[in-house]
Amino acid sequence: MTRDEIILQVGRDLGDTSTNFVTDVLNPAFDFVLLDLAQAECIRPLRRTTVFAIRADARDYETREITGLTPHHPAELVSLTVRSWGLPWAVVPRAATDLQFEALRLAEGEAARGKWRLWRLYPNHRLLQVHPPADADNDGVECEVLFTVPPLAIAPTDDVLDIEAEDVGVILAGIKTHAASFDQSQAGQVMGLVGIYELAKRRMWGRRWNARPGRITPRDW
């Protein structure tokens, strides 16, 4: 189901599909519920890939720009791959620590240029830094970035791909819980809805973490 379809279903269940209620109440409630589920580790990170053009002499890249998530920033950058560079350069390693990145930068100097050898997020997840900056020969070369999408970046017509079909009801319950407090006719049901949502959330967590195959260790007794 898409974001819009889920929200419209909640509106039908609550008896209000007016534009104002959908825009002012249900849409913010949807965002809150996804953030709540993500924090509770009920949903998997949603990964996407895209490509961006390398710029000669550029050391810093704004993560929102290279992932095309404007106005949101990616939750995390996972990997950078420049396929045209071939092995061993194509998969650019992430610096294990800031000290490793700074040590290489100091050793090679600020004038160093060429294929990227390391990358990091610095000073926070909003900025990608690479070393060394690309030279003129690599200006415009495409880099593939793998990243995780924050829940708030899901567009109205996007499928909520990181939600299993059986868990859509959890989102519905969560949105109803938060939306009901804005509806006088539903005020008396808020506590009951909270209980339903919390129980559904625990079941969703269990499906994600307890339904995986494990290893049985034999015992001698």
> Domain count of the chain?
2
Q: Which two tokens stand for residue 177?
A: 């819980």
Identity of residue 68:
G
Same domain? For 21 and 55 the reply is no
What pLDDT does 159 receive? Answer: 67
Structural contact between residues 48 and 147, judged by C-beta atoms closer than 8 angstroms? yes
| Pair (54, 75) in one structural domain | yes
Give 154-166 pLDDT, tens digit per residue: 767 766 656 777 8
Looking at the fold, whether 79 and 142 belong to one and the same domain comes out as yes
Same structural domain, 9 and 38: yes
pTM (predicted TM-score): 0.71
Instruction: Kindly state whether residues 59 and 119 are assigned to the same domain.
Output: yes
Q: Cβ of 27: how many Cβ atoms within 10 Å?
A: 16
Phi, psi values for residue 138, rounded to 5°: -105, 10
The predicted pLDDT at position 49 comes to: 94
150 or 85, greater pLDDT = 85
Q: Which amino acid is at 16?
A: D
Structural domain of 65: 50-150
Give the pLDDT confidence of 2-61 residue by residue, as tens digits. Answer: 888 888 888 888 888 899 988 888 888 888 888 888 888 888 777 889 999 999 999 999
Q: Let me know whether 197 and 126 are in one domain.
A: no
